[in-house]
Amino acid sequence: MDKLAELLAQKAALEQQIVEAQRAQKAQAIAQVRSLMAEHGLTVADLGSRTVSARRGAGGKVAAKFRHPQTNQTWSGRGLQPNWLKQALAGGARLEDFKV
Protein backbone atom coordinates (compact mmCIF):
# COMPACT_ATOMS: atom_id res chain seq x y z
CA MET A 1 0.00 0.00 0.00
CA ASP A 2 1.39 3.41 -0.85
CA LYS A 3 1.49 6.26 1.65
CA LEU A 4 -1.51 8.15 0.21
CA ALA A 5 -3.77 5.09 0.28
CA GLU A 6 -2.70 4.38 3.86
CA LEU A 7 -3.47 7.95 4.95
CA LEU A 8 -6.86 7.86 3.22
CA ALA A 9 -7.70 4.60 4.99
CA GLN A 10 -6.70 6.16 8.33
CA LYS A 11 -8.83 9.22 7.54
CA ALA A 12 -11.86 7.04 6.75
CA ALA A 13 -11.35 5.08 9.97
CA LEU A 14 -11.09 8.31 12.01
CA GLU A 15 -14.22 9.74 10.37
CA GLN A 16 -16.10 6.57 11.26
CA GLN A 17 -14.86 6.80 14.85
CA ILE A 18 -16.04 10.42 15.00
CA VAL A 19 -19.51 9.45 13.76
CA GLU A 20 -19.73 6.65 16.32
CA ALA A 21 -18.52 8.93 19.15
CA GLN A 22 -21.10 11.58 18.20
CA ARG A 23 -23.84 8.95 18.10
CA ALA A 24 -22.83 7.64 21.54
CA GLN A 25 -22.66 11.15 22.98
CA LYS A 26 -26.09 11.99 21.61
CA ALA A 27 -27.57 8.76 23.00
CA GLN A 28 -26.06 9.53 26.41
CA ALA A 29 -27.51 13.06 26.38
CA ILE A 30 -30.96 11.72 25.44
CA ALA A 31 -30.76 9.18 28.24
CA GLN A 32 -29.85 11.91 30.73
CA VAL A 33 -32.74 14.10 29.60
CA ARG A 34 -35.19 11.20 29.82
CA SER A 35 -33.90 10.34 33.28
CA LEU A 36 -34.31 13.90 34.51
CA MET A 37 -37.79 14.13 32.99
CA ALA A 38 -38.83 10.88 34.68
CA GLU A 39 -37.30 11.97 37.98
CA HIS A 40 -39.27 15.21 37.98
CA GLY A 41 -42.42 13.87 36.32
CA LEU A 42 -42.07 16.08 33.25
CA THR A 43 -43.53 15.57 29.79
CA VAL A 44 -42.54 17.10 26.48
CA ALA A 45 -45.50 19.47 26.84
CA ASP A 46 -44.01 20.72 30.12
CA LEU A 47 -40.93 21.85 28.24
CA GLY A 48 -42.98 24.39 26.32
CA SER A 49 -41.68 22.97 23.08
CA ARG A 50 -43.23 24.71 20.11
CA THR A 51 -42.20 24.76 16.51
CA VAL A 52 -41.11 27.94 14.80
CA SER A 53 -44.33 28.07 12.80
CA ALA A 54 -46.38 27.74 15.99
CA ARG A 55 -44.56 30.70 17.53
CA ARG A 56 -45.27 32.74 14.44
CA GLY A 57 -48.96 31.98 14.49
CA ALA A 58 -48.78 28.77 12.46
CA GLY A 59 -48.34 30.60 9.18
CA GLY A 60 -51.52 32.61 9.55
CA LYS A 61 -52.28 35.52 7.30
CA VAL A 62 -51.00 38.98 8.12
CA ALA A 63 -53.37 41.92 7.92
CA ALA A 64 -53.19 43.97 4.76
CA LYS A 65 -51.38 47.29 5.07
CA PHE A 66 -51.80 48.45 1.48
CA ARG A 67 -54.80 48.23 -0.88
CA HIS A 68 -55.28 49.13 -4.52
CA PRO A 69 -58.30 51.48 -4.61
CA GLN A 70 -59.79 50.18 -7.87
CA THR A 71 -59.08 46.44 -7.71
CA ASN A 72 -59.02 45.98 -3.91
CA GLN A 73 -55.85 43.90 -4.26
CA THR A 74 -53.89 43.97 -1.03
CA TRP A 75 -50.34 43.62 0.23
CA SER A 76 -49.24 43.01 3.81
CA GLY A 77 -46.04 44.98 3.43
CA ARG A 78 -43.98 41.80 3.78
CA GLY A 79 -42.03 40.11 1.06
CA LEU A 80 -41.75 41.36 -2.49
CA GLN A 81 -44.01 44.15 -3.64
CA PRO A 82 -46.80 42.89 -5.90
CA ASN A 83 -46.75 43.92 -9.55
CA TRP A 84 -49.76 46.22 -9.22
CA LEU A 85 -47.92 48.22 -6.55
CA LYS A 86 -44.63 48.28 -8.45
CA GLN A 87 -46.41 49.61 -11.53
CA ALA A 88 -48.25 52.26 -9.55
CA LEU A 89 -45.05 53.41 -7.83
CA ALA A 90 -43.23 53.50 -11.17
CA GLY A 91 -46.09 55.66 -12.47
CA GLY A 92 -45.48 58.28 -9.80
CA ALA A 93 -47.77 57.10 -7.00
CA ARG A 94 -46.54 57.09 -3.42
CA LEU A 95 -46.66 54.10 -1.10
CA GLU A 96 -48.68 56.17 1.40
CA ASP A 97 -51.42 56.51 -1.24
CA PHE A 98 -52.23 52.81 -0.77
CA LYS A 99 -52.16 52.56 3.05
CA VAL A 100 -55.18 50.86 4.58
Q: How confident is the model at residue 61 (pLDDT cuts 50, 70, 90)?
A: confident
Whole-number Cα distances in Å, 47 to 29, 42, 73: 16, 8, 42
User: pLDDT tens, 91-100?
Assistant: 999 999 999 8
The runs of H, that is alpha helices, within the chain are 3-40, 52-55, 83-90
- Regarding pTM above 0.75, the answer is no
Task: Quote the CA–CA distance of 86 and 78 in Å, as a whole number.
Answer: 14
Task: Quote the CA–CA distance of 20 and 3 in Å, as a whole number.
Answer: 26
User: pLDDT tens, 28-52?
Assistant: 999 999 999 999 998 888 888 665 5
